[in-house]
């Protein structure tokens, strides 16, 4: 006889701390909600962005701010609907462009060292191309 058993979604749902702190993730597991990246793929860009030229990046960041506001307002209504793929660029494509620009000239931490992580450089904070930091979607 084993003293260990696998934790189920029902076990998690019955835990008040999990329900309070991880409510959105629990709703995804229960099939009542969609992950945020699926919702972001639904938001279409009004203009296309290519490359990482500095003049284009400022516009990309401005567009990102506006799209984030749109995401927040649409989040509740889109969570339970299926997401269909479209050929136009979406907010997720914009996030990929901005993430790549941060890898090419790092400005993520307070040091603002400008390391090019795509060439294998590590910045002053010693973070390379792979990091496990994700606090704001």
User: What mean pLDDT value characterizes the chain?
Assistant: 79
- What b-and-e string marks burial along 90-115, b requiring 16 or more CB atoms within 10 Å of the CB? bbbbbbebbeebebebbebeeeeeeb
Higher pLDDT, 131 or 26: 26
Residue 34 in this model has a pLDDT that exceeds 70: yes
Average pLDDT, integer, range 50-75:
79
pLDDT recorded at residue 96 = 86
pLDDT recorded at residue 135 = 56
pLDDT bin (cut points 50, 70, 90) of residue 137 is very low
Higher pLDDT, 36 or 55: 36
pLDDT recorded at residue 82 = 58
pLDDT recorded at residue 116 = 92
Angstrom distance (rounded) from CA 119 to CA 129: 9
Integer CA distances (angstroms), 105 to 41, 78, 119, in order = 26, 34, 10
């Amino acid at each position: 006889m084993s003293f260990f058993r696998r934790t189920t979604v029902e076990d998690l749902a019955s835990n008040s701390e999990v329900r309070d702190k991880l409510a959105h993730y629990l709703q995804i597991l229960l099939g009542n909600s969609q992950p945020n990246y699926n919702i972001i793929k639904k938001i279409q860009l009004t203009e296309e962005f290519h490359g990482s030229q500095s003049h284009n990046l400022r516009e990309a960041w401005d567009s990102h701010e506006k799209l984030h506001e749109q995401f927040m307002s649409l989040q509740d209504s889109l969570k339970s609907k299926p997401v269909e793929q479209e050929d136009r660029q979406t907010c997720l494509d914009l996030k990929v462009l901005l993430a790549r620009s941060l890898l090419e000239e790092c400005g993520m931490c307070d040091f603002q060292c400008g390391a090019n992580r795509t060439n294998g450089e590590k910045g002053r904070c010693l973070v390379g191309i792979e990091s496990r930091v994700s606090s704001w979607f």
